[in-house]
Structure 1
Amino acid sequence: MSGAEVISLISGVIAIIEAAQKIYDAAADAKGQPHEFRQVAARLPLVIGLLNNAKAGVPRLNATEQEGLETILQSCEDKAESLEKMFRRVIRKDDDKWHERYKKAVVVVTKGKQVESLMGEILKDVQVIVCDKLKDITTSDQVKELGEAIKEMKETPSSLQEERGSVTQNHDGSGNNNANTGPGPMHTGTGDLYQNEIKGDAYIGSNISKQVNNHYNSPHDSENRSCLKDLRTTDPREDKRRIEETKGGLLKDSYRWILENSDYQQWRDDTLRPLLWIKGDPGKGKTMLLCGIIDELSRGKDIAALPSYFFCQATDSRLNNATAVLGGLIYLLIEQQPSLISHVQKRYDQGAKTPFEGVNGWAALSIVFEDILRDSKSQSGTYLIVDALDECDINLPQLLNLITQSASRFPSVKWVVSSRNKSDIEARLRLDRTQVRLSLELNREHVSRAVEIFIAFRVSQLPLLADDSTLQEMVRRGIYAKAAGTFLWVALVLKELVLVESWDVLEVLDEIPSGLKSLYHRMIQQIDQLQRKDPEFCRCVLSTMILAYRPLLLDELAALSGLPERISKSHDYVARVVRQCGSFLTIRGGTVFFIHQSAKDYLSEETQDKFFPDGSRAYHHMIFKRSLQVMSLVLERDVYNLKAPGITIDQVKKPDLDPLAIAGYSCLYWVDHLLECQKNDTVKDLKDSGSVNKYLHKYFLYWLEALSLLKSVSEGVIIVQKLEDLQLNESPDLHAFIHDIRRFVVSNRSIIEQAPLQVYCSALVFAPEKSIVRNTFKECIPSWIQTKPRVEADWSAMLQALEGHTGDVNSVAFSSDGKQIVSGSEDTTVRRWDAATGQQLLPALEGHTRNVSSVAFSPDGKQIVSGSGDTTIRRWDAATGQQLLPALEGHTSYVSSVAFSPNGKQIVSGSGDTTVRRWDAATGQQLLPALEGHTRNVSSVAFSPDGKQIVSGSWDTTIRRWDAATGQQLLTALEGHTSYVSSVAFSPDGKQIVSGSYDTTIRRWDAATGQQLLPALEGHTSDVNSVASLHVAENWL
């Protein structure tokens, strides 16, 4: 780390401490502030002064000494961030209810550290920096004051001393202290209890569970267990077991070589090399290598080791997307370190019921993931393993960016990833000297030896060769000669040889071609040579599996593949057909999977004519029609026989013979298959007299009940949205019905998610009188509801109330594509919302310390800008919610209005300090000069459509125009209003300016000359707060 980087890091800590002091100073006289907060705030200037001294002393240090400062500075920065977050969450100027906020902040923000303890640790870190690392830069008085401050914090009584049942752990020295902050015993497991009493990180836990710090937020609490369920689509541990079983078990001798490989050891031992990429062609054993690495890391001596992993699978829609990968990694980290659940719980504390679903998922999980890594970034032993990146079909670039960025920001966290030899993955991983690349092709000898060991072991297990060592050796040599270092080829060949008599084994082995593609071709030939209609049955099964969006249960496969009833009615018969499909498929736990991604790739690319002679779209239509048929046969009212409409989803017990086992896939994917059909087929199905309209009119409520039982109502909202997005101009009845369905689902989503049978009760009863859904299914309203409530005739114009802010909402804006809404509030937060569903996109954007008065999207929708009463302007990443530093500072009073230029390169702001200011949107630098001319508060600013002019409105009753490039005022001020100007805007062609005022009028102005265009628009009887030009033809305001 260079001297400049050290100075930058110190500056970052100072900025955080100064932000904390600013928060405190703004409410220093607030009622109810605890004495400890005042003590801590009183020591902040000391910290700032000493760190400024440290900055001046850095250039005196040599490179090694500068490098030695990094760890302690990062530790200090983490604690400073925690202190600033605590101040921001707890301190309010006009609210003395600090106690509940403080208790929550201690758990969520500081992991058990109270404010005096946190400040004590910051002071100790500063002591190490200025008295040990940087000697002779402080005066004796400063050293004395620092010592007294540390002693004061240590002797300060607990600021939450009235809390009972908590465990207090004292930690001397710098570094992070991970403690048990909840009621109950600290150690309940068996085995040795390790307590670290030296300087640095303190770990407490059991050598059996390998859990570090046991918060009262145990993941075994029902509430937290529910949070964990929302994180994952499958359990990665179960996926690992399934993969190992499918591949015949994990043989240590076949992966031992990688543990001794110099590249692997360099990655393992070098703290500056956080990323290992293992790459190789299909079937080379990458997945089993990673399974071996996981086992070795899990068996390590370090009780704090946290190996978390995920296996991508392109054939399963639950495992082929970046959101699932991230959720799986977080899930396993929390399972091993329960205290980390607090970072997940924060998302729920912000009011979201399903924070990790839909478009919200990736952004919310990214924040949780970063919080977790930051929480434990000073701990070694966190390993993140992702297999088969090339099989992550959805949002792979986002995942790769996250991996590279986290590897750079948290180098103590170690990554192992694997993929095929893909240039796009290599480019995005941006491999440099800090990452390690391990190519299986370049390690051909090691891989070949591993394959040889694998062959020897598996051949020795063949029952037909058990008593013939000579034949066993001949088979071993024969397989090895053709294997070409490909584990998958070996596994498939051995699977075939199991079914052969011993006297035929050498002849069959001689017939089997080398190479995966040739082997797959032979399998197809074998299917074609089956007797009677068996080849046709196999083609039905394989074509369905090729087009399915996830692995299928045997029941689902039987229903969707079109197998004759004599076969489809029996699990055993369907399984026998699956087994006749060569080794393309495998069955585990009643679910049918592709044996390997390369098998599906071969069938999709090489056999299109055989499986889809009329094209895949025609077969999508067959699956769509069969899905409607299956749902029509299975779905009914109260399909689980719950009887009581008040039964919640958590109380539902799935029947032993689950009727939805056959229809689950169809309920979730019928529309996806419809969208893939040929246009002619789709047109017929989407007519008013078509199959979709008929199905929805009869089964819609049953389908919605089934989605609730499948815990997939959120997916249902998206499915209905997909239907509404279709062009249905020639089907007015269907279009109106689907629109009504969407209003019905969005309005009742919450209650239907909680209680499936409420779809027939409260959802119907409270629907508007003219609702098509209500009138179609009015007979479904329970007879015991005698008196129905009075309801509106139609759905209200309000599509949905977006709830989440705790104070007045001051400003809202749409993104340019109309998919997101942003809002700013008196509660100091900025929030983003999905415009289609109304769901809040977490996290809330926190950083301002006073009311947010104005928000805007950049033209490309990638940034959000907000202005606040704290005098700052802040920029945010619209996708992740991360603040883009630095904050834009320069105004000396509240910021009332912000706007982006049409090209997104500039931001303009207006303020109570009477000035208009311009900023570079990329760097945050102010573009001088400030635009001065108004004599009172600037209330509104806007750019012209060509970006060349800025217009501003002020409480001085005038409107002013400015050259956006130079900042010069253009001609005279526009005068005519007799009271405050509250809002200004340009017309779409830039020829007119419109203004609204507290004088109750709206006025129009010629943008070129500044002349008022008469008459003034009168009609309002009170203040005009906002104006906008909406119509390109300038007919409407």
Structure 2
Amino acid sequence: MASVNSDESMARPTNLVRDVNTYGQSRIQVGNNYTEVHNYNEPSRNRCIADLRLTDPRDDKTRIEQTKGGLLKDSYKWILDHEDFRRWRDDRESRLLWIKGDAGKGKTMLLCGIIDELSQSQTEMTNASERGLFSNLGVKMSRRFTKLSLSLTPSRPLSFFFCQGTDSRLNGAVAVLRGLMYVLLYQQPSLVSHIQDRYDHAGRRLFEDTNALYTLSQALLSMLRDRRAKGCYMIIDALDECEQDLPQLLDFIVQSNTSASAHVKWIVSSRNRPDIEQQLHRAASQTRLSLELNGYHIAQAVNAYVDHQVMHLISLKGDKPLQDQVRDEMRRRAGGTFLWAALVAQELQKVQRWNVLGVLKEMPSGLTPLYERMMRRIQQLQPEDSEFCRLVISAATVAYRPLRLCELGVLSGLPRNVSGDLLSVVGMCASFLTARDDHIYLIHQSVKDFLTCKASNAIFQGGFADAHHTMFLKSIQIMSDTLRHDMYDLHHPGTSIDDVRRPEPDPLASVRYSCFYWIDHLRDAMSHGTSRPIDDLQSDGIVHQFLSKKYLYWLEALSLLRDMPEGVVTMTKLEILLIGPA
């Protein structure tokens, strides 16, 4: 039997199976498998898919699960038997499930569990289909034929995206569509035909220019109408954290939901927001699942989570009576909020056995009172330590993405002798921040909401404008001090970027964030009404001096960071700040 190339096999209707051995009088006939052919070479297709990627949503899912302590099946399994979920899954006409609930109710982990269950069920259905089809027909399952059978068994593609308001790369409609398309194309690469022609003409800018939202919407809708994507699952978490073009994203969801030719089932989650409800209400066959209206299920799930957390409290090991007391108290106080239980458990990890119950009883119920207590603890530190925490929290909160340790050290303005021990400062920040894989994260969107509203006077003592202006000044300073000619010591100006290997340690590591976002902090400082940035734009001001001395080195750095087009975007933003939009 001739080998089958996954791309070339789509060139024409063909009987892929023709040399299958059977037993006795058994026969097998597999009809023509019609697919579309597009003469796209594999390198071009791969470049298109690679340029589509901002982050890999699959990696985002793994990071989120690990940051939250792992995915506990007992905390989400209730939804698998819920009538609303089962109707969405089994009823062909039920095409949109909206899961809504307040902060900390476990929506993200609920969707992580649903993704895992749908993925597992698809794998099991595929394997069962293959075994049933060929064993019933008495086909000898050669290794070569087993590999081929995968292309003959229909499977629902599953794509997903996690919006994150604390990361500008993950909080816009364009990012959502790019992420959904990336995961979809990973499973069905041939669907790239719906955008390949335009990509071949425009390159990566197709996904980044002012028309990107329209282009991506049309391309993804076209993919969802393709029979190769039939029955596709699309899942978006935290719509309320989509801060850019949310109305357009909701319009797209509604449009694909009501399109008769788009065979797609959606699950979306968000907080209880009237604007989201109003737009999703237009969708056909939509189901709303309110976590507040499923209080019993949520309480049971939180109880299971509390049990898991208490079991892993090191100070309680071997003390069953104390474990039971702590478990019962946490269950009673959690109020159906996973995040409260997680933060309290994290606090109890630091407490000696004999103090656990006393500290637990001091913990206020509800997220906002708990955050206020955490803030008071920071303010009660030694004055110098409290100020260090304030600087770190301020920088982490106004940053447009999670900062690396080396970036946070310079952008926060910590003294040099302190920035080298940054993790110790993060550890004093009362659980507002968490460190993972050399990055510092706000633990939850609700923390950012609290810090920018109720605690803004304590954290941003000069206001948001001053915080952004400080980030701008620190960015200019670190770039001015670091950038130079031939940062990677390549010695040959004509070296292809594909031949460049990042040195260790990377001399650009601490300035990576600043190279991309300095102009955004200047813009936001101006938008909050302060006059100080205006002076920075004057002739011989800070911006003029930086560009006069470091412009070429900055462009070289962007090239080494593999994002030279960002230089054009930055200069356009600067022009708008100077003369206003066209």
TM over 0.5: yes
- Asked if 2 retains the 8 angstrom alpha-carbon contact of 1:279 and 1:440, the reply is yes
1:302 to 108, 122, 125: 125
Query: Structure 2 CA distance, aligned partners of 1:537 and 1:296?
Result: 44
For residues 690-701 of structure 1, the aligned pairs below 5 Å read 690-701=541-552
Query: Structure 2 CA distance, aligned partners of 1:683 and 1:356?
Result: 32
- SS of 2:486's equivalent in the other structure is coil
Query: Structure 1 CA distance, aligned partners of 2:284 and 2:219?
Result: 29
Residue-by-residue CA offset, 1:914-961 (whole Å, 9 max, x unaligned): xxxxxxxxxxxxxxxxxxxxxxxxxxxxxxxxxxxxxxxxxxxxxxxx
Q: Which runs of 4+ in 1 moved over 4 A?
A: 195-203, 213-218
- SS of 1:308's equivalent in the other structure is strand
Percent identity reads: 49
Residue-by-residue CA offset, 1:418-457 (whole Å, 9 max, x unaligned): 0000000011112566111100001010000000111111
Shift of 1:170: 6.7
- SS of 1:639's equivalent in the other structure is coil
1:616 to 459, 464, 473: 464
- Asked if 1 retains the 8 angstrom alpha-carbon contact of 2:105 and 2:339, the reply is yes
**Is residue 2:576 matched to residue 1:725?**
yes
Query: Structure 2 CA distance, aligned partners of 1:197 and 1:536?
Result: 75
Residue 139 of structure 2: aligned partner: none
Residue 247 of structure 2: aligned partner: 397
**Is residue 2:321 matched to residue 1:489?**
no
For residues 73-472 of structure 1, the aligned pairs below 5 Å read 111-113=10-12, 168-169=14-15, 221-300=42-121, 301-303=124-126, 304-376=155-227, 379-380=230-231, 382-409=232-259, 410=261, 412-431=263-282, 434-472=285-323
Shift of 1:353: 5.0
- Asked if 2 retains the 8 angstrom alpha-carbon contact of 1:377 and 1:413, the reply is no
- Asked if 2 retains the 8 angstrom alpha-carbon contact of 1:387 and 1:418, the reply is yes
Instruction: Give the number of the structure with larger relative contact order, counting CA–CA contacts within 8 Å between residues 6 or more apart.
Output: 2
The structure in which a higher percent of residues are helix is 2
Query: Structure 1 CA distance, aligned partners of 2:357 and 2:328?
Result: 11
Residue-by-residue CA offset, 1:798-843 (whole Å, 9 max, x unaligned): xxxxxxxxxxxxxxxxxxx97xxxxxxxxxxxxxxxxxxxxxxxxx
- Asked if 2 retains the 8 angstrom alpha-carbon contact of 1:297 and 1:305, the reply is no
**Is residue 2:445 matched to residue 1:579?**
no
1:674 to 522, 525, 544: 522
Shift of 1:252: 0.8
Instruction: List alignment gaps of at least 5 residues for structure 2.
Output: 1-6, 18-26, 127-154
- SS of 2:461's equivalent in the other structure is coil
- Summarize the Cα distance change of 1:643–1:437 in structure 2 as closer, same or farther, 3 Å threshold: same
- SS of 2:99's equivalent in the other structure is strand
- SS of 1:414's equivalent in the other structure is strand
Query: Structure 1 CA distance, aligned partners of 2:293 and 2:28?
Result: 43
- Asked if 1 retains the 8 angstrom alpha-carbon contact of 2:166 and 2:400, the reply is yes
Residue type of the alignment partner of 2:542: S
Query: Structure 2 CA distance, aligned partners of 1:202 and 1:582?
Result: 59
- SS of 2:521's equivalent in the other structure is helix
- Asked if 2 retains the 8 angstrom alpha-carbon contact of 1:273 and 1:411, the reply is no
Residue type of the alignment partner of 1:255: Y
- Summarize the Cα distance change of 1:624–1:263 in structure 2 as closer, same or farther, 3 Å threshold: same
Residue-by-residue CA offset, 1:64-114 (whole Å, 9 max, x unaligned): xxxxxxxxxxxxxxxxxxxxxxxxxxxxxxxxxxxxxxxxxxx89x9523x
- Asked if 1 retains the 8 angstrom alpha-carbon contact of 2:191 and 2:228, the reply is no
Query: Structure 1 CA distance, aligned partners of 2:464 and 2:263?
Result: 48
Residue type of the alignment partner of 1:527: I
Residue 34 of structure 1: aligned partner: none
Query: Structure 2 CA distance, aligned partners of 1:433 and 1:359?
Result: 30
Query: Structure 1 CA distance, aligned partners of 2:551 and 2:413?
Result: 24
Query: Structure 2 CA distance, aligned partners of 1:462 and 1:305?
Result: 41
Residue 405 of structure 2: aligned partner: 554
1:659 to 482, 498, 507: 507
Shift of 1:367: 2.6
- Summarize the Cα distance change of 1:701–1:428 in structure 2 as closer, same or farther, 3 Å threshold: same
Residue type of the alignment partner of 2:210: V
- Summarize the Cα distance change of 1:679–1:515 in structure 2 as closer, same or farther, 3 Å threshold: closer
- Asked if 1 retains the 8 angstrom alpha-carbon contact of 2:238 and 2:271, the reply is yes
Instruction: List alignment gaps of at least 5 residues for structure 1.
Output: 1-106, 118-167, 172-194, 204-212, 730-816, 819-1037
Residue 487 of structure 2: aligned partner: 639
- Asked if 2 retains the 8 angstrom alpha-carbon contact of 1:271 and 1:411, the reply is no
Residue-by-residue CA offset, 1:732-788 (whole Å, 9 max, x unaligned): xxxxxxxxxxxxxxxxxxxxxxxxxxxxxxxxxxxxxxxxxxxxxxxxxxxxxxxxx
- SS of 1:540's equivalent in the other structure is helix
Query: Structure 1 CA distance, aligned partners of 2:34 and 2:358?
Result: 64
Shift of 1:196: 10
Residue type of the alignment partner of 2:208: E
Residue type of the alignment partner of 2:69: G
- Summarize the Cα distance change of 1:601–1:511 in structure 2 as closer, same or farther, 3 Å threshold: same
Query: Structure 2 CA distance, aligned partners of 1:299 and 1:429?
Result: 28
- SS of 2:293's equivalent in the other structure is coil
For residues 935-1014 of structure 1, the aligned pairs below 5 Å read none
Residue 630 of structure 1: aligned partner: 478
Residue 21 of structure 2: aligned partner: none
- Summarize the Cα distance change of 1:633–1:442 in structure 2 as closer, same or farther, 3 Å threshold: same
1:712 to 540, 554, 563: 563
Query: Structure 2 CA distance, aligned partners of 1:685 and 1:379?
Result: 55
- Summarize the Cα distance change of 1:297–1:201 in structure 2 as closer, same or farther, 3 Å threshold: farther
TM-score with structure 2 setting the length: 0.87
- Asked if 2 retains the 8 angstrom alpha-carbon contact of 1:254 and 1:450, the reply is yes
- SS of 1:393's equivalent in the other structure is coil
Residue type of the alignment partner of 2:405: L
- Summarize the Cα distance change of 1:214–1:282 in structure 2 as closer, same or farther, 3 Å threshold: farther
- Summarize the Cα distance change of 1:615–1:309 in structure 2 as closer, same or farther, 3 Å threshold: same
Residue-by-residue CA offset, 1:4-57 (whole Å, 9 max, x unaligned): xxxxxxxxxxxxxxxxxxxxxxxxxxxxxxxxxxxxxxxxxxxxxxxxxxxxxx
Query: Structure 1 CA distance, aligned partners of 2:58 and 2:118?
Result: 14
- SS of 1:663's equivalent in the other structure is helix
Residue type of the alignment partner of 2:368: K
Shift of 1:728: 6.2
Bigger Cα Rg: 1
- Asked if 1 retains the 8 angstrom alpha-carbon contact of 2:537 and 2:578, the reply is no
Larger mean Cα displacement after TM superposition, 707-716 or 591-600: 707-716
Paired residues, what number? 535
Shift of 1:706: 1.1
Shift of 1:524: 0.4
Shift of 1:378: 7.1
Shift of 1:497: 0.6
Residue type of the alignment partner of 2:79: I
Shift of 1:339: 2.0
- Asked if 1 retains the 8 angstrom alpha-carbon contact of 2:537 and 2:543, the reply is yes
Residue 210 of structure 1: aligned partner: none
- SS of 1:272's equivalent in the other structure is coil
Residue-by-residue CA offset, 1:825-879 (whole Å, 9 max, x unaligned): xxxxxxxxxxxxxxxxxxxxxxxxxxxxxxxxxxxxxxxxxxxxxxxxxxxxxxx
- Asked if 1 retains the 8 angstrom alpha-carbon contact of 2:258 and 2:284, the reply is no
Shift of 1:261: 0.1
Query: Structure 1 CA distance, aligned partners of 2:104 and 2:360?
Result: 19
Residue 945 of structure 1: aligned partner: none
The structure in which a higher percent of residues are strand is 1
- SS of 1:302's equivalent in the other structure is helix
- SS of 1:354's equivalent in the other structure is helix
- Summarize the Cα distance change of 1:202–1:486 in structure 2 as closer, same or farther, 3 Å threshold: farther
Residue type of the alignment partner of 1:499: K
- SS of 1:659's equivalent in the other structure is coil
